Structure 1
Amino acid sequence: MKIHARRRTGATRVRSRSANISGSSFGHHVRILQGNLNIFKDWGNRAISTGDKPSAAVQAQLEEKEKMDCRHSLSFCDIDARLHNISPVQPGTCEWVFELPLFQKWYDQTERDNGLLWIKGNPGTGKSTLMKHIFQYCQTKEKYVIAAYFFNARGAELEQTPLGMLRSLLFQLLEHEPLYYDALLPIFGKKQQDHGMGGWEWREPELKSFFLSEVPKCQSRPLLLIIDALDECSEHDVQNVAEFLQDLSNNAIDAGLTLNICLSSRHYPFIRFNEYQELILEKEEQHDEDIVKYISNNLVIKDETIEEAIREKSSGIFLWVVLVTRILNKAYEDGNPETMKQKLNETPAELGEVFETILKTNNSDKDETILILQCVLFAKRLLTPEEIYFAIIAGTNSQALSRWDSSQVTYDTIRRRIKSSSKGLVEIRRSKNETTLLDHKAFIDGRCRKIRLQRQGQAFTMTSESENEVVQFIHGSVKDFLVRNRRLQRLDPELRPNPIAKSHDRLKDCCLSYLMMESLELQDIEAMESSFPFLEYASRYLFDHAEEATLVGQAELLRILKDDNVFKRVERFHNYFVDYGQDGAPLNLLQTLAARELPKLVGILVDDGVDIDAEGLPCGTALQAAVEFESEETIKILLSKGAKIDPRRVYFGDSTLYKAFQKSNRGILTMLIERGAKLTFSDKLVGASLLHYAIYSGDADAIAMVLDKGAKVNTRAPIGNALCAAAFKGDEDLVEMLLDEGAEVNSRGIHGNSLGYAVLCGRVELAELLLEKGAKVNTPGIIGSPLGTAAYYGQLEIVELLLEKGANINARGLSGSPLELAAFGGHLEIAELLLEKGAKINTQGFFGSPLQSAGLAGHKEVAEMLLNKGANVNARGGLFGNALHAAVINNKKEVVELLLEKGANINARGLIGFARLLAKLYKKFKESQNPHASLGELKGSSTKIYGTAIQAAAAYEHEEILQLLLDKGAKI
Structure 2
Amino acid sequence: MNPTSSHDRDHEDHLQLPKRQKICHSNKENDLPYGRYTIAWICALYIETAAAIAMLDEKHGELPRCPNDDNAYTLGSISNHNIVIASLPQGRIGNNNAANVVTNLTRTFPSIRHGLMVGIGGAAPANKDIRLGDIVVGTRVMQYDLGKILSGGEIQRTAVSETPHQSLCTAVANLRANHETHPSRVMAIIQERMQRYIDYHRPAVPDNLFQASYEHNPSMASCQTCDHSKLESREVRRSCDPKIHYGAIASSNQVMKDAVTRDRVAQELDIICFEMEAAGLMDVLPCLPIRGICDYSDSHKAKDWQKYAAAVAAAYAREFLEALPATSETQRDFRLNACPPEQMNPGNRRQRLMESLEFDQIDSRRTTIKTAYSKTCSWFLKHPDYLAWLDPGKQSQHHGFLWIQGKPGAGKSIIMKFIYTKQKNTDIPVKAITISFFFNARGDLLETSVSGMYRSLLLQLLEGFPDLQTILDDPDLIPRNQVTCPPLNILKDLFRSAISSLEERALTCFVDALDECDEQQMRDMVEFFEEVAEQCVEDNVRFQVCFSSRHYPYIDIKSGIQLTLEGQDGHNDDLRHYISKRLSIQDPALVEELKEMMLEKAAGVFLWVALVVDILNKENRRGRLALRTRLQEVPSELSELFRDILTRDQEHMEDLLLSILWILLAKRPLNPGEYYHGLWSGLSLKRKGDREMPPANTSDASDCFSKCVISSSKGLAEITKGKKPTVQFIHESVRDFLVQDKGLYKLWPELGTDWESQGHEELKLCCNAYVFHEAIGKALDEQKSTDARVLKDNLLKQFPFLEYANQFVLRHADAAAHKITQQQFISEFPVIRWVQIFNIFEKHKVRKYDQEADILYILADRGLPNLIRIRLETAPVVDGGGGRYRHPLLAAMAKGNKESVIALLGLPSSIHNGVDITDSLKCKIDSVRKDHTPFSWACEEGHVAIAELLLQNGARVIEADLVRIMKSGNPEIVKMLLDKGVDTAAADKYGWMLLHRALLSGNLEIVKMLLDKGVDTAAANQH
For 2:744, the equivalent position in structure 1 comes to 488
Separation in structure 1 between the aligned mates of residue 857 and residue 674 of structure 2, nearest angstrom: 28
- Flag the 1:567–1:349 CA change in 2: closer, same or farther, 3 A: same
For 1:537, the equivalent position in structure 2 comes to 804
Contact kept? 1:74, 1:168, Cα under 8 Å? yes
For 2:372, the equivalent position in structure 1 comes to 89
Shift in Å, 1:368:
2.3
For 2:346, the equivalent position in structure 1 comes to 63
Shift in Å, 1:185:
9.6
Separation in structure 1 between the aligned mates of residue 340 and residue 10 of structure 2, nearest angstrom: 40
* Secondary structure in 1 matching 2:563: strand
Contact kept? 2:893, 2:901, Cα under 8 Å? yes
Contact kept? 2:847, 2:883, Cα under 8 Å? no
- Flag the 1:474–1:430 CA change in 2: closer, same or farther, 3 A: closer
Which whole-Å deviations, capped at 9, do the CAs of 1:563-591 have from their partners, x for residues lacking one? 5x612222222332243434854265455
For 2:473, the equivalent position in structure 1 comes to 182
For 2:1019, the equivalent position in structure 1 comes to none
- Flag the 1:673–1:208 CA change in 2: closer, same or farther, 3 A: farther
For 1:831, the equivalent position in structure 2 comes to none
Shift in Å, 1:127:
0.5
For 1:129, the equivalent position in structure 2 comes to 414
Contact kept? 1:646, 1:656, Cα under 8 Å? no
Aligned match for 1:431, one of 716, 721, 724:
721
For 1:111, the equivalent position in structure 2 comes to 396
Map residues 356-395 of structure 1 onto 2, 5 A cutoff: 356-395=643-682
Shift in Å, 1:264:
1.0
* Secondary structure in 1 matching 2:670: coil
Contact kept? 1:70, 1:188, Cα under 8 Å? no
Shift in Å, 1:374:
1.3
Separation in structure 2 between the aligned mates of residue 207 and residue 591 of structure 1, nearest angstrom: 44
**Counterpart AA for 1:323:** L
Which whole-Å deviations, capped at 9, do the CAs of 1:693-741 have from their partners, x for residues lacking one? xxxxxxxxxxxxxxxxxxxxxxxxxxxxxxxxxxxxxxxxxxxxxxxxx
Q: Confirm whether residue 260 of structure 1 aligns to residue 544 of structure 2.
A: yes
Separation in structure 2 between the aligned mates of residue 54 and residue 166 of structure 1, nearest angstrom: 27
Shift in Å, 1:486:
1.1
> What residue ranges of structure 2 are gaps of 5+ in the alignment?
1-7, 13-24, 34-62, 68-72, 77-107, 110-332, 784-790, 949-966, 970-1001, 1003-1023
Contact kept? 1:118, 1:276, Cα under 8 Å? yes
**Counterpart AA for 1:560:** F
- Flag the 1:150–1:633 CA change in 2: closer, same or farther, 3 A: farther
For 1:851, the equivalent position in structure 2 comes to none
Shift in Å, 1:122:
1.0
**Higher radius of gyration, 1 or 2:** 1
Map residues 738-749 of structure 1 onto 2, 5 A cutoff: none
Separation in structure 2 between the aligned mates of residue 655 and residue 118 of structure 1, nearest angstrom: 63
Which whole-Å deviations, capped at 9, do the CAs of 1:209-237 have from their partners, x for residues lacking one? 6468756666655543322112223xxx1
For 2:520, the equivalent position in structure 1 comes to 239
Q: Confirm whether residue 510 of structure 1 aligns to residue 778 of structure 2.
A: no
Q: Confirm whether residue 561 of structure 1 aligns to residue 817 of structure 2.
A: no
Map residues 939-958 of structure 1 onto 2, 5 A cutoff: none
Separation in structure 1 between the aligned mates of residue 926 and residue 619 of structure 2, nearest angstrom: 72
Shift in Å, 1:314:
1.9
Aligned match for 1:573, one of 819, 837, 841:
837
Q: Confirm whether residue 551 of structure 1 aligns to residue 815 of structure 2.
A: no
- Flag the 1:86–1:624 CA change in 2: closer, same or farther, 3 A: farther
Separation in structure 1 between the aligned mates of residue 497 and residue 726 of structure 2, nearest angstrom: 37
Separation in structure 1 between the aligned mates of residue 634 and residue 480 of structure 2, nearest angstrom: 60
For 2:427, the equivalent position in structure 1 comes to 141
* Secondary structure in 1 matching 2:818: helix
Contact kept? 1:401, 1:517, Cα under 8 Å? no
Separation in structure 2 between the aligned mates of residue 690 and residue 228 of structure 1, nearest angstrom: 57
For 1:298, the equivalent position in structure 2 comes to 582
- Flag the 1:121–1:648 CA change in 2: closer, same or farther, 3 A: closer
Map residues 627-666 of structure 1 onto 2, 5 A cutoff: 640=910
Equivalent pairs, count = 596
For 1:333, the equivalent position in structure 2 comes to 621
Shift in Å, 1:370:
1.2
**Counterpart AA for 2:427:** K
Contact kept? 1:212, 1:251, Cα under 8 Å? no
- Flag the 1:632–1:86 CA change in 2: closer, same or farther, 3 A: farther
Aligned match for 1:345, one of 632, 636, 652:
632
- Flag the 1:3–1:690 CA change in 2: closer, same or farther, 3 A: farther
Which whole-Å deviations, capped at 9, do the CAs of 1:740-799 have from their partners, x for residues lacking one? xx9xxxxxxxxxxxxxxxxxxxxxxxxxxxxxxxxxxxxxxxxxxxxxxxxxxxxxxxxx
Separation in structure 2 between the aligned mates of residue 71 and residue 539 of structure 1, nearest angstrom: 36
- Flag the 1:611–1:431 CA change in 2: closer, same or farther, 3 A: farther
For 1:250, the equivalent position in structure 2 comes to 531
Q: Confirm whether residue 287 of structure 1 aligns to residue 574 of structure 2.
A: no
Q: Confirm whether residue 472 of structure 1 aligns to residue 728 of structure 2.
A: yes
Higher RCO (CA-CA < 8 Å; seq separation 6+): 2
Separation in structure 2 between the aligned mates of residue 610 and residue 594 of structure 1, nearest angstrom: 14
Separation in structure 1 between the aligned mates of residue 872 and residue 759 of structure 2, nearest angstrom: 25
**Counterpart AA for 1:159:** E
Q: Confirm whether residue 396 of structure 1 aligns to residue 687 of structure 2.
A: no
For 2:601, the equivalent position in structure 1 comes to 313
For 2:50, the equivalent position in structure 1 comes to none
- Flag the 1:110–1:636 CA change in 2: closer, same or farther, 3 A: farther
**Counterpart AA for 1:535:** L
Separation in structure 2 between the aligned mates of residue 78 and residue 671 of structure 1, nearest angstrom: 45
Which whole-Å deviations, capped at 9, do the CAs of 1:128-180 have from their partners, x for residues lacking one? 01111222223223465443211112223332233332332333334233133
Q: Would you tell me which structure has more strand in proportion to its own residues? A: 2
Separation in structure 2 between the aligned mates of residue 248 and residue 690 of structure 1, nearest angstrom: 55
Separation in structure 1 between the aligned mates of residue 470 and residue 32 of structure 2, nearest angstrom: 36
> What residue ranges of structure 1 are gaps of 5+ in the alignment?
15-36, 437-468, 661-668, 678-688, 692-741, 743-972
- Flag the 1:264–1:546 CA change in 2: closer, same or farther, 3 A: farther
Contact kept? 2:764, 2:812, Cα under 8 Å? yes
**Counterpart AA for 2:597:** A
For 1:173, the equivalent position in structure 2 comes to 461
- Flag the 1:129–1:598 CA change in 2: closer, same or farther, 3 A: farther
Separation in structure 2 between the aligned mates of residue 535 and residue 373 of structure 1, nearest angstrom: 20
Shift in Å, 1:357:
1.4
- Flag the 1:183–1:112 CA change in 2: closer, same or farther, 3 A: farther
Contact kept? 2:403, 2:547, Cα under 8 Å? yes
Separation in structure 1 between the aligned mates of residue 900 and residue 461 of structure 2, nearest angstrom: 40
Separation in structure 2 between the aligned mates of residue 130 and residue 630 of structure 1, nearest angstrom: 49
- Flag the 1:608–1:106 CA change in 2: closer, same or farther, 3 A: farther
Separation in structure 1 between the aligned mates of residue 399 and residue 968 of structure 2, nearest angstrom: 55
* Secondary structure in 2 matching 1:370: helix
For 2:511, the equivalent position in structure 1 comes to 227
Percent identity between matched residues is 30
Separation in structure 2 between the aligned mates of residue 546 and residue 560 of structure 1, nearest angstrom: 9
Give the structure-1-normalised TM-score. Answer: 0.53
Taking only aligned residues, the RMSD between alpha carbons, in angstroms, comes to 5.0
Contact kept? 2:895, 2:922, Cα under 8 Å? no
Contact kept? 1:3, 1:619, Cα under 8 Å? no
Contact kept? 1:394, 1:510, Cα under 8 Å? yes
Which whole-Å deviations, capped at 9, do the CAs of 1:329-357 have from their partners, x for residues lacking one? 222233x1243233222222222222211
Q: Would you tell me which structure has more helix in proportion to its own residues? A: 1
Which whole-Å deviations, capped at 9, do the CAs of 1:943-965 have from their partners, x for residues lacking one? xxxxxxxxxxxxxxxxxxxxxxx
